[in-house]
Each structure stands twice: as C-alpha cells, then as structure tokens.
Amino acid sequence: MKKQLLFALTLFIIFQAAIISAYAQVESLAPGVQKISVGVPDKFTPYGFRLESPMKTALGELPAAKLPFDINDISISVNNRGVIVKIPLDTSEQLYGFGLQFGSFDQRGLKIKPIVNDNPLNDLGYSHGPTTFYVSNKGYGILINTARYVTFYCGNTARLNDGKGNGVQHSDGNSVQALYQSDNKASGNVLVDVPGAKGIEVFVFEGPDLKNAMQRYNLFAGGGALPAIWGLGIKYRVKADFNQQQVGKMAAYFRNNHMPCDVLGLEPKWQTTAYSCSYVWNKNLFPSPNAFIDTMKNKGFHLNLWEHAFVSTASPLYAPLKTKAGNYLVWNGLVPDFADSTASNLFANYHENIFVKEGISGFKMDECDNSNIAFGSHAWSFPELSSFPSGIDGEQMHQLFGMLYDKTIFNIYKKNNLRTYLDVRASNDFASPYPSALYSDTYDHKQYIRLIVNSGFSGMNWSPEVRESNSIKDLMRRSQTAVLSAQTLYNSWYLKNPPWLQINKEKNNAGELMDNASAIETDVRELLNFRMSLIPYLYNAYADYHFKGIPPFRALVMDYPTDKKTFSISDEYMIGNGILAAPLTEKEDERVVYLPEGTWYDYNTNQKYIGGKEYTVKTGLTQLPIFIKEGTILPLATPVGYVGQDTKFEITCLVYGNNPASTTLFEDDGTSFNYEKGSYNIVTLSWQKNKGSVKRNGKFKNNRYVIKKWQLIN
C-alpha cells in the first residue's frame, strides 16, 4: 500500500514537471549563463540588439557556481494579459539592480517599474538608465529580456493558498506608519509582470557570489567598456551660445591657468537649429569648424558635440530619414527608426563623414529618454503608441532608444578604430560595452552619489556633473564626487565662466567673479589634479571591467556580500580594488563611514581604522573622501594638463601595509581598439622585503608608465 502511494506520488511529480518542461526550454548560452524561453518571445529585445558577443573564455574562467534554487523552479506563465515570471526568493536575500535607480538601493520589498524617463517620480522605478535585471546577494542575477514596460514585485506579494502569509496582524493601529507596515519577508518569490507579451526569455546569471554574478552579466554583454584614456580626464561643456573665439578663449584659460582639461563640449547652438536638430554647423558661431577642430586638437583638446536624435526639416538627414522614422514627431523633428539598420546607417554615415572623420571625438546624445513632466513644463518625446517602419512600437522603442542611438554613434568610432567616451541620457540592459556615461538634470547630490553606487549593478557609467552651486562648499563637495566618479564633468552650458570663478548663475553670466575666485580655482585645481593622478589606477579598473567584468565603481555589498552592514549602504562605494569612497554633500563637514573587515587608511591623514565598524570622519574641501584598504599598492601619477597620445605617466606607488598584494596597470595606446588584438601590456607592481618591483608583460611597444617612486605607509 505504501509502495503504491509512493509510486503515485512519483508519477504525480513527474507529470507536474512535464507540464513545465513542455513549455519552458532551458538553454546554456555561455559558462554560467542560461536562458529560459517560453512562448513566442518578442521580436525587439535588449539582447536582440546587443552590441557585442559574450566573452565566453573569460566567463569560463570564473569559479563554477550553483544556483540557490533549481532553475526549473522559475515559473513562467503566459495568459491573455501577458507573461508572468516567478523567481524563487529566500527570506534572507537582498536584491540590487534595475539600473540607475535614483531613490532606492536594496530593492527587496519594493515594487519597481524600470521605465525610461528623465523624472524619477517618487521611486516608482523610472530612470534614464533602467534595466530589467537584478542580482541577489545569494550570488545570481536575473534578466527579463524585454523592452516592454514591466513591473517587478520584489518579494512583497503573498499568494492565496501558498501556505504563507496568513495570520499576521498589526499590533498597533494608531499611526499611518503602523497601518501601512507590511511584512517584506512574506513572499517567497520575485514576481515580474510583462503585460502585452506572448512569450519571454529569462536570462539567469550564476555567481557563485554577487560580484561573480555581475561579472557574468558584464562579460556576457561583451565585457565592460574601456573608454579612450583621455575620457578619464576632465570634461568641460561650454556655454551654449559661445562662438569659435569664445571656445578658443576658454581653452586658453585652461592651459594658461594649469587647470587640467581633456574634452571641451559644445552645446545646442553649434548647430543651425536644435530642438529639433539640423546636425549642420552654425557658421555664424563657427565659421571654420574643421580648422577649429584641428586647432583645438593641437592644444590637446578633444571636442564633443551635443545633439539629440530628433531630425529637423532643416537637416540634410530629414529627406533620407523621412520614410525611416516613427509616425510621430518630437519638437517637430523625425524620430529615426534605429531598430532598422538602414536608418542607423544613414544617421551614422552622415555623422562619420561630417564629424568623426573631421576629428570630432565624441557626442552627447541628449533627450533620448522620455519625459512625463519636465521641470514643471509639459511632457515631451514620442507617444508610446507610435509605430515605426521596422514594426517596433513606441513603448519598446522608448526603452531601447538611448541604447540604439548609442550603438549607432559608437559603431562609427569602432569602425574607424578610434576609442571615445560618449554622453548618453538613456540606456538599458547589456550596456556594459558602451563607453558612455549617463547623466541627468535632477541635480540632487545625494541621489548622484547613490547613482554611482547603483551604476555598478547596471553595466553603466554615471556622470554626476557639476553645474552651478549654492555655496562654495556645495561646489567643492560636488567636485569631489565628480572626481571620484566615472566621468569628471563640469557642465557649464548656461555659464559664461567656470563655476569655480563664480558659483552663482546670474552673477557668473554677468561676468561678476567671486572675490575669492582665484583661491577657489586653486582648491578646485587640487581636486582635478588628483583626478589626473588617478587615471592609471582608474584605467586599470576599467581594464578589469573589460576583461573580467568587474565594475570599476560598485557598492560595498558587491565586495562584502556576507557583511550585513553593507546591505543597505548606498552612499559609499569601491573604486577599483583598493579605494573606498564616502563622499560628503553640501551640509557636511564630517560623516559616518562604515569600513568593512580589514584595515583601512584615511588617504588624507594615513590614519588607520580597524574595519567592521563605523567611524565619524572629517574631510576637508580640498581633500578626497577616500579610504585605502590595507594590502593595496596605489599607483598615482604626477598630474598632467591633459592626456595626449604621447603622455607618459610618472607614477608614485603608495604601499599600504607591509604585505600588499601585487597590483597591475593596463598599458596600451589608449585610443584604439588594438588591445582587442593583444596590443597591450600588463604592468605588475609588487612589493617585497621593503622594495618595489615592476614587471611588464605584453606586446605593446610604447611604455606609458614610468615608476618613479615607492612609498610605504603603515
């Protein structure tokens, strides 16, 4: 009798499994990366438009992993409304991701709609850089391969009849807080709602740990981007109505005053018309653009052009693109159907011939997100109901538009074997191989810091740009954050003078400089010089991003996934392997810093801290709010005014502690993709018996790093 029961039970289990496997197909795409498919997946997806192929070799070198659940326990159902995906969730798990989230960090317990928008809207999930991807501190990642507007319920639902979630009652009903309290641990899964879909692909990235899962995600996307080395210097965007001469004067200001600067950005008015765009030089302001590009180049400046993708009738691109555009206009301009390669090619060829071949080093791709309400003004961009010749609809186009635009522009540079560092205002899944930084108009410093932290879960670079400031302290704190980010950018598109000469917008434009302008300039120079010193270290972190998938900027929890205190820290982050940054904002002279296990050195004072604790630390305005992990060799360069083709970096190695691990520098030409064919060196820096040593391996012939000095700190 017992045997029969067991037999029936086994049959029942097999039968149940059969129902699931009949629909769900699991495929291994690369080491530790699996895809589950159900139904008829969408034609237009983030993966379908991926920039690069997976880096399978690097993926194979990661430690083997095992999911904390059976992959078949991911349940996917298709109904009239769309697709529902259910992913198991342990009661102790913490979740991170969904792209550049402004207000949230640990996503467990939240309802998140990762929708592309310039307005974060009370943490609904809206962002310039949303992703349908999350990682768990249990060491795996999940990506829903869709360009639809989806909702993630991160363990905050309770299903009827699932044997959980009954009987919990509130003890106190006398406050709003108490009434609305919910038990976030109640649900045993993450639910994903994909309305409108008839099928779905779910990508599962194994760990074994949180960082490994992120590495797999980034490597699967093609590896992290290695920006042109000059992109890691200082970018400065000049006032929108500056003419050729005024830009030239600004360039001279930087060189004459020894303020480092690599890139000058031109804003809308370089074009004959913008909003929508002509992509034609405004000869009134720039009578000889190509000669101007050359002059700037000779002075070591790269030029970056602002634009957006909405094509004015005044543009030579209007006529060819008119039949390859969406059926709604934005600012009366065409919306190119970038989902169709003919539209992309037309757009790219024009940009290649008119700009890239003439020496333009990059673009700022603005307004490719979407907006509901922009700064008290009205909504803009194309409606979600738009249709495009390729067949993609407006909703899916919105989610992919920034990325497709970025792809169109990036591929020009790739084709010309030129590296770049772009600005783009929207992105999505599989963004890692794009050498592009995202930015926003929201300008909340605390959020900007959180976005650096969240960028490590996004495969994106975040640029916490500096514009005007409320106070000198605000300017300095924002500058510190910018220096400790993926891109150091002063965006002065509405400022005549650099903000460090006058923080106030009106006075700045009236030419009224601050009394202490020169002193503040000196202070800012000190910070910018530190950025220039950090370039070799940062560049190596980006090489780790490219070859190993390790995000150069990342949350503490990624390096310390078992340290519960790191689970919710969204205002500190790691830069590379040895630096912990804890930026301060306008009102702060000091702040509480949590330092994980190990020993840490205050970079400014060399004071030692025992990890696993919180400390209150003061950081001056010209100092850097960073802590160096014991065991780190920190290579810092003598600052240069800009990174030229032949720049040699003179390096001082700061050795923290007596037994540091050896570290590396990545050496190549910094501006071509030749490294992809092996033309690079790995420079290994070691410290043994109180002596530093340098070992160089690789095929690149031109040494860029000169190790000048070693200095032990302990």
Region 475-514 residues binding a copy of itself, contact defined as CB under 8 A: 494
Structure tokens at 590: 């000091």
Tell me: does residue 269 bind a copy of itself (CB under 8 A): yes
Q: Is 7 exposed, middle or buried, given 0-12, 13-18 or 19+ CB atoms closer than 10 A?
A: exposed
Give strand pairing partners of 485: none
* Binds a copy of itself by CB under 8 A, chosen from 60, 63, 195, 612: 195
* Binds a copy of itself by CB under 8 A, chosen from 11, 40, 168, 252: 168
* Binds a copy of itself by CB under 8 A, chosen from 30, 67, 134, 193: 193
Give the integer Cα–Cα distance in Å for 49 and 42: 12
Give the integer Cα–Cα distance in Å for 227 and 304: 14
User: In angstroms, what is the minimal distance from the CB of 284 to a copy of itself?
Assistant: 14
* Binds a copy of itself by CB under 8 A, chosen from 384, 444, 586, 676: 384
Per DSSP, the three-state class of 626 is strand
56-85 footprint of a copy of itself as x/- string (CB under 8 A):
-----------------------xxxx-x-
Tell me: does residue 380 bind a copy of itself (CB under 8 A): yes
Looking at residues 408 to 427 of the shown chain, list those that interact with a copy of itself (rule: CB under 8 A).
none
Nearer to a copy of itself, 396 or 540 (CB): 396
Peptide linkage before 276 cis (omega within 30 of 0): yes
Count of residues interacting with a copy of itself (CB under 8 A): 82
Give the integer Cα–Cα distance in Å for 158 and 86: 12
Structure tokens at 681: 């060196």
Which of the ranges 15-23, 387-395, 478-486, 614-622 carries the binding residues for a copy of itself, by CB under 8 A? 387-395
Give strand pairing partners of 248: none
Residue 570, amino acid: S
User: In angstroms, what is the minimal distance from the CB of 675 to a copy of itself?
Assistant: 39
Integer Rg of the chain from CA: 26
314-343 footprint of a copy of itself as x/- string (CB under 8 A):
x-------x--xxxxx-xx-x---------
In sequence order, the 6+-apart residues with CB closer than 8 A to the CB of 403 are: 46, 49, 426, 427, 428, 431, 434
Please give the angle made by the CA atoms of 337, 342 and 343, to the nearest 5 degrees: 35
* Binds a copy of itself by CB under 8 A, chosen from 94, 127, 137, 156: 156
User: In angstroms, what is the minimal distance from the CB of 164 to a copy of itself?
Assistant: 9
Which of the ranges 263-271, 283-291, 514-522, 567-575 carries the binding residues for a copy of itself, by CB under 8 A? 263-271
Please give the angle made by the CA atoms of 565, 567 and 571, to the nearest 5 degrees: 90
Cβ atoms of 463 and 580 closer than 8 Å: no
Which of the ranges 193-201, 207-215, 248-256, 454-462 carries the binding residues for a copy of itself, by CB under 8 A? 193-201
In sequence order, the 6+-apart residues with CB closer than 8 A to the CB of 106 are: 94, 95, 96, 567, 568, 570
Nearer to a copy of itself, 5 or 160 (CB): 160
Task: For 669, list phi and psi in degrees, rounded to 5.
Answer: -70, -20
**DSSP-derived secondary structure for 230-249:** GGGSEEEEPPTT--HHHHHH
Tell me: does residue 243 bind a copy of itself (CB under 8 A): no
Give the integer Cα–Cα distance in Å for 286 and 582: 42
Give strand pairing partners of 627: 580, 602
Which of the ranges 187-195, 527-535, 648-656, 682-690 carries the binding residues for a copy of itself, by CB under 8 A? 187-195
Nearer to a copy of itself, 450 or 531 (CB): 450
* Binds a copy of itself by CB under 8 A, chosen from 165, 199, 248, 359: 165
* Binds a copy of itself by CB under 8 A, chosen from 70, 163, 167, 690: 167
Which of the ranges 21-29, 30-38, 166-174, 666-674 carries the binding residues for a copy of itself, by CB under 8 A? 166-174
Cβ atoms of 138 and 68 closer than 8 Å: yes
User: In angstroms, what is the minimal distance from the CB of 594 to a copy of itself?
Assistant: 22
Peptide linkage before 208 cis (omega within 30 of 0): yes
Which of the ranges 218-226, 262-270, 576-584, 642-650 carries the binding residues for a copy of itself, by CB under 8 A? 262-270
Give the integer Cα–Cα distance in Å for 109 and 429: 22
94-113 footprint of a copy of itself as x/- string (CB under 8 A):
---------------xxx--
Nearer to a copy of itself, 391 or 620 (CB): 391
* Binds a copy of itself by CB under 8 A, chosen from 38, 74, 186, 412: 186
Alpha helices in 554-708 (DSSP H): 556-559
Task: For 284, list phi and psi in degrees, rounded to 5.
Answer: -65, -40
Which of the ranges 87-95, 234-242, 547-555, 619-627 carries the binding residues for a copy of itself, by CB under 8 A? 234-242
Nearer to a copy of itself, 4 or 175 (CB): 175
Stretch (H or E) spanning 266: strand 263-266
Which of the ranges 177-185, 245-253, 553-561, 635-643 carries the binding residues for a copy of itself, by CB under 8 A? 177-185
Nearer to a copy of itself, 15 or 180 (CB): 180
CA dihedral 272, 278, 279, 285 (to 10 degrees): 0
Give the integer Cα–Cα distance in Å for 186 and 164: 7
* Binds a copy of itself by CB under 8 A, chosen from 106, 441, 444, 650: 441
Alpha helices in 620-659 (DSSP H): none
User: In angstroms, what is the minimal distance from the CB of 277 to a copy of itself?
Assistant: 10
Tell me: does residue 374 bind a copy of itself (CB under 8 A): yes
Nearer to a copy of itself, 22 or 176 (CB): 176
Give the integer Cα–Cα distance in Å for 336 and 241: 27
User: In angstroms, what is the minimal distance from the CB of 308 to a copy of itself?
Assistant: 10
* Binds a copy of itself by CB under 8 A, chosen from 6, 179, 291, 510: 179
Which of the ranges 235-243, 403-411, 529-537, 606-614 carries the binding residues for a copy of itself, by CB under 8 A? 235-243
Four-residue CA torsion sign, 268, 270, 273, 276:
negative
Tell me: does residue 121 bind a copy of itself (CB under 8 A): yes
Residue 341: CB atoms within 10 A of its CB come to 12
Looking at residues 273 to 292 of the shown chain, list those that interact with a copy of itself (rule: CB under 8 A).
273-276
